[in-house]
A and B are shown apart, each in its own frame.
Chain A
Amino acid sequence: NAGVTQTPKFQVLKTGQSMTLQCAQDMNHNSMYWYRQDPGMGLRLIYYSASEGTTDKGEVPNGYNASRLNKREFSLRLESAAPSQTSVYFCASTPSGTETKKLFFGSGTQLSVL
């Protein structure tokens, strides 16, 4: 059981380049999230998808776009990368019902923008 899978694990971009972070979960969870983790800032929510077909902005959405491709997959796109987007990105998912808000995290994508 893979859980939440993120690709790539590492990426180096030049300023202005674009890329898409991929996330897939095999637990049939309804909700999915993208967080970034920065030293001293904790985890901050970028985008989330409460259910298949919906996408909403979190705390720090500027410079990103997200797509809920289907129930399994939730991608995060950087259209024009900036050094301020250097971070570790985590995808997470949650089921519905009483287990809502128990986040299952991926292993993270370490992104450096030069």
Chain B
Amino acid sequence: AQRVTQPEKLLSVFKGAPVELKCNYSYSGSPELFWYVQYSRQRLQLLLRHISRESIKGFTADLNKGETSFHLKKPFAQEEDSAMYYCALSGRGFQKLVFGTGTRLLVSP
């Protein structure tokens, strides 16, 4: 079965501090991992996916198959990063996405 765990409901940091939002997963096959973000009064949207190995808005995430983790990191948080972040998992081919419970990031000035 697919399962995504985001252990932190709320992460509060000051502007300029490093940020790490944790995501662990359980999946027997070869997973595809994603981070979705929901800013206040905006639609949920894709932030990044591990296949692309990209950096979006200064965020990066590396898939660690040994630790079954896909933590989201940013070296210097900005106030506009405040949002709800969801980690999501899918198998190869057509597979529905399973989401974690989400972490609310609050960046204070």
Residues of A within 8 A of B (CB): 31, 33, 35, 40-45, 48, 50, 58-59, 90, 92, 100-103, 105-108
Please, which residues of chain B bring their CB within 8 A of the CB of A48?
A: 96
- Mask of B60-102 contacts with A, CB within 8 angstroms, 1/0: 0000000000000000000000000010001000111111111
Q: 27 interchain pairs (CB within 8 A)?
A: A33-B97, A35-B99, A42-B86, A42-B99, A42-B100, A42-B101, A42-B102, A43-B44, A43-B86, A43-B102, A44-B99, A45-B96, A45-B98, A48-B96, A50-B94, A58-B96, A90-B44, A92-B44, A101-B34, A101-B90, A101-B97, A102-B46, A103-B36, A105-B43, A105-B44, A106-B43, A108-B43
Shortest Cβ gap from B45 to chain A (Å): 7
Residues of B within 8 A of A (CB): 6, 9, 32, 34, 36, 43-46, 49, 86, 90, 94-102
Given A33-B96, A44-B99, A102-B49, 5 new contacts (CB under 8 A): A33-B97, A58-B96, A92-B44, A101-B95, A105-B44
Please, which residues of chain A bring their CB within 8 A of the CB of B102?
A: 42-43
